[in-house]
Homo-oligomer: A and B are copies of this chain.
Amino acid sequence: MPAYRVIGVIGGMGPAATADFLARLVAGVTALHDTDHPRVLIDSNPHVPDRNAAVRGDGPSPGPALAAMAQALVAQGAQVLAMPCNAAHGWADAIDAGVPFVSMIDAALAEALGHRPRCIGVLAVGATLALDLYGRASPVPVIAGDLAVVQPAVNAIKAGDRSDAVRAALAGEAARLALSCDVIIAACTEVPLLLRQADVSVPLIDSTAALARATLAAAALPDMDG
């Protein structure tokens, strides 16, 4: 029998982050055979209304689209939902499809807090910052990276630019945050596509990887042999 519940992925924000998330779900399973893996249903939809425009009041809310995607995934069989986009969690309340929703914010924050930091730095953009998604959930202070550095880097990564110059910009901002913070969360799914732990002097939490681990844990069924 399957070892996991069916996982539903509200994705496409952006598409590369969803591909990264799926790869991490696969790599996170100790499998001898294909059948050891969970079934994963994905809606990679890059046409969800823009989260950053919505938070600026310049566009429609993404909430209804996210709710519809969640309901369709559950109708197709999803039993646990995850959404590999930090900013979209500003509308997580709209996702009420009757099955557990694994929060990326909670998953990344839990891993960060495991390092017992006095302060957490976040590399994030748009709605994640505007809605203070990490700060309002954290028991310790959260300091955001400079948007003037992080936003152009994220835009570059979304456009396929994974050059050393973009990496260096993110690493520089991480180094600045590390002057006052004990741990840094890559709190935009594009950031860990380029910035790695080796680029940062303090622990770097990859929010995509943290969500993959938390999703597999939430989807795991009790071991019938155990």
Contacts and interface: CB of A to CB of B under 8 A. Distances in A.
Interface string A27-60: 0011111111111111111110000000000000
The CB with the most chain B CB atoms within 10 A, among A26, A32, A45, A47, is that of A26
Contact of A31 (B19, B29, B44, B159): B159
Contacts of A192: none
Contacts of A35: 46-47
Contacts of A33: 158-159
Report the contact-size class of chain A (Cβ under 8 Å from the partner): 35 or more
A135 interface: no
Given A40-B44, A47-B39, A158-B33, A15 B19 contact: no
Interface string A16-30: 101110110110011
A37 B12 contact: yes
Interface of A: 2, 12-16, 18-20, 22-23, 25-26, 29-47, 72, 76, 158-160
